[in-house]
Amino acid sequence: MRTTIRDIVIVGGGTAGWMAAAALSKVMGTQRYTITLVESDQIGTVGVGEATIPPITLFNGVLGLDENEFMRETNATIKLGIEFQNWRRPGHSYMHPFGMMGAEFSGIGFTNHWLRWVKAGGDPDNLRFSAEAQAALAGKFGRTTDGNPNLPKINYAFHFDASLYAAYLRRFAVARGVTRLEGKVVDVTLGAEDGYIDSITLEDGRVIRGDLFLDCSGFRGLLIEQALGVGYEDWSRYLPVNRAVAMPCARVEDPVPLTRAIAREAGWQWRIPLQHRTGNGYVYCDAWLEPDRAAELLIERLDGEAQAPPNHLRFVTGRRKSCWEKNCLSLGLASGFLEPLESTSIHLIQVVISKLLALFPKNGFEPLLIARFNREIERDFTYIRDFIIAHYKTTDREDTPFWAYVKHMEIPDSLTDKLESFRRRGEVQAENFELFKEPNWFYVLYGQGLVPDDYHPVADVMAEDDLKLRLAQIRSAIVQRVQGLPTHQAFLEKNCSGA
C-alpha cells in the first residue's frame, strides 16, 4: 500500500479545482504538502453555475473570506430562495425559500400546527410564515446579526459570477503557496502493480508526479473515467433534460434576491440577477426541442440586451460509480451532474472537499475509509436527485410531450415512499443527513399542489386560542424583522457594490 502523501495534484481550474485548492491550502497548508493545480486556457471552463445555497457561507467562512469583499469581487447578489413559475400549471407560481417555516413548538414541526390551522379555515398562504420569502417579496435584505432571539434569522446564499469566483479563489490559493501550471494534460501514467495514478504528462512534455490526484477536469472526467474507468450511473430516465443553452443579458432592474426557475415547453429557464448583468439559461431535453430552437426561444424571452452568444452545453444526469478510486477523487462535473434546478452542484463540490478533509489519509489509502466516503457521496447525490425529481413528478401539466413524460414517468421507490408519507401526514420522514429537510420538501410539495390529508396528532393538543395566539406572535415577529431590513439594492450599494 502507498503510505506517504505529500504531493497533491489537482487537474482542472474551474470552480471545483480552485475551491479544492483554496480549501486544501488553507486547512492542510503548503509546508508539509505540495499542491499543484494544472489548468488549460485552451480548454477553458464550463462558464456557468451562478446560484448557490446557504452552506456556501460555511465554506467561505472556513477560508476566512471577508463576505463583503467576496461579494464585490464576484459581482454577487443575495439569494433567499427560488421562485418556481409554471411548474404546477402555466400561470401558477410558488416559492422555495431558504430557512424553516414558522418556528417549532410542542416538539413537532411547525407545518403540523399550520396544517391544523388551514384545515380549520385559516389562510393557506404558507409564505406568510417564512421570513426569507417575505423579505424576497419585499425586495429586502440585511444580515440579521443583531442577536435578537425574538426575531427570525434570515438565511441566505449568493448569486455570483462563477468565473470571477474561480479567479478570486485562485488568487487566494496561489497566495497560500499553491503552484499553478498552465498546460493540457495529454497522458496519465498508472502504476504497473496497483493501477494507482503515478503521474500526468502535459502537452509540452512536462511530467507531474503525485501521491493524491483530484480530478476537477469537468464532464470529461480525465482521470476518474478516462484513466481509471470507474463507470457512470445514468439517471436520465428520471431527469431527462440533457442540454442547456446559457446567455447573459443586460440588467434592466434592481436585482431581486431570488433565483427564478420558469417551466418551459421542454424543460425550464433560469433567471439569475447579478450586480452587473442577468444570467439566463434554458435547460431542456433534446428529444423534444432542437438546440437552435432552444436558443431562439431563450433570446426571445430575455428581458435585457444579450451580452454574449449562446453557450450550448450537453450533459447526462447521473454520477460516477465511485467518487474516490485508488489515489484519485473526482469533484464537480467530473464526479457527476444533477441539473441546476436546486443549485446543488457547487454545494456537492463543497461536500466532497469537507469529507476529504475529514477522512484525509494519514498512512496510505485505507479501503474502509474510501468505501465509507463513496457510500456517503452516493447517498448525498441520491437524496438530492429524488428532491429534484419530485418537482417534475408532481406537476399537473400534460400540455407538451415533455411534461406528459415527467408526470407519468416511473420514479425511484425512495421517492414514492416520501410522496406517500407526505400525502398522509405532511412529512416525508427525511433522514438527518439529507441536505433537504422537512421544510424544504414542504415548500416544494405544497407549492406543487399536494395538500396532506392529515398532520401529527400532537398538533391537536393545544387549545385553539393558544394556537391562534402563537401563530400571531410568529407572524408579527416576521413582519417586524422584514420591516427593519434595507432594500436589497441599498444593502449591495452600502456593503459590496462591485458593478
Contact between 46 and ligand FAD per CB under 6 A? yes
Contact between 13 and ligand FAD per CB under 6 A? yes
Q: Is 464 exposed, middle or buried (0-12, 13-18, 19+ CB in 10 A)?
A: exposed
Distance (Å, whole) CA 198 – CA 274:
42
Contact between 73 and ligand FAD per CB under 6 A? no
- For residue 251, give the amino acid letter: R
Scanning residues 162 to 201, which ones bind ligand FAD (CB under 6 A)?
A: 162, 184-185
Contact between 274 and ligand FAD per CB under 6 A? no
Place of cell 444580515: 143
Least gap, CB of 266 to ligand FAD (angstroms): 15
Contacts of residue 424, defined as CB under 8 A and 6 or more positions apart, other chains included, come to: 452, 453, 454
H helix intervals, 260-315:
291-300
The region of 78-86, 120-128, 341-349, 405-413 touching ligand FAD under the rule CB under 6 A is 341-349
Distance (Å, whole) CA 178 – CA 185:
18
Least gap, CB of 317 to ligand FAD (angstroms): 10
Radius of gyration for the alpha carbons in the chain, expressed in angstroms and rounded: 23
Contact between 38 and ligand FAD per CB under 6 A? yes
Among 99, 142, 240, 281, binds ligand FAD (CB under 6 A): 281
Query: Contact 191/156 with Cβ under 8 angstroms?
Result: no
Among 5, 8, 20, 48, binds ligand FAD (CB under 6 A): 48
Contact between 352 and ligand FAD per CB under 6 A? no
Contact between 36 and ligand FAD per CB under 6 A? no
Contacts of residue 140, defined as CB under 8 A and 6 or more positions apart, other chains included, come to: 257, 482, 485, 486, 487, 488
Place of cell 440577477: 273
Q: Which is nearer to ligand FAD, 208 or 474 (CB)?
A: 208
Contact between 333 and ligand FAD per CB under 6 A? yes
Query: Which pairs with CB-CB distance under 8 Å and at least 24 residues apart come from 171-176?
Result: 172/22, 172/25, 172/26, 172/63, 172/65, 173/18, 173/21, 173/22, 173/25, 173/35, 173/37, 176/22, 176/25, 176/26, 176/29, 176/30
Least gap, CB of 161 to ligand FAD (angstroms): 11
The region of 122-130, 191-199, 232-240, 333-341 touching ligand FAD under the rule CB under 6 A is 333-341
Contact between 60 and ligand FAD per CB under 6 A? no
Contact between 15 and ligand FAD per CB under 6 A? yes
Distance (Å, whole) CA 452 – CA 115:
8
Contact between 343 and ligand FAD per CB under 6 A? yes
Q: Is 317 exposed, middle or buried (0-12, 13-18, 19+ CB in 10 A)?
A: buried
Q: Which is nearer to ligand FAD, 286 or 396 (CB)?
A: 286
Q: Which is nearer to ligand FAD, 340 or 426 (CB)?
A: 340
Q: Which is nearer to ligand FAD, 128 or 180 (CB)?
A: 180
Scanning residues 241 to 260, which ones bind ligand FAD (CB under 6 A)?
A: 244, 246
Q: Which is nearer to ligand FAD, 16 or 389 (CB)?
A: 16
Among 313, 351, 388, 445, binds ligand FAD (CB under 6 A): 313
Residue 131's CB is within 10 A of a number of other CB atoms, namely: 28
Query: Contact 13/180 with Cβ under 8 angstroms?
Result: yes
Distance (Å, whole) CA 274 – CA 391:
25
Size of the residue set binding ligand FAD (CB under 6 A): 39
Active site residue 79: yes
Strands 212-215, 7-11: pairing is: parallel
Tell which residue, 145, 403, 452, has the closest CA to residue 266: 403
The region of 35-43, 358-366, 402-410, 421-429 touching ligand FAD under the rule CB under 6 A is 35-43
> 79, 326, 355, 393: which one is catalytic?
79
Among 340, 426, 439, 447, binds ligand FAD (CB under 6 A): 340
What positions carry a catalytic annotation?
79
Applying CB under 6 A, the residues found at the interface with ligand FAD are 11-17, 38-40, 43-46, 48-52, 162, 184-185, 216-218, 220, 222, 244, 246, 281, 313, 315, 332-334, 340, 343, 345-346
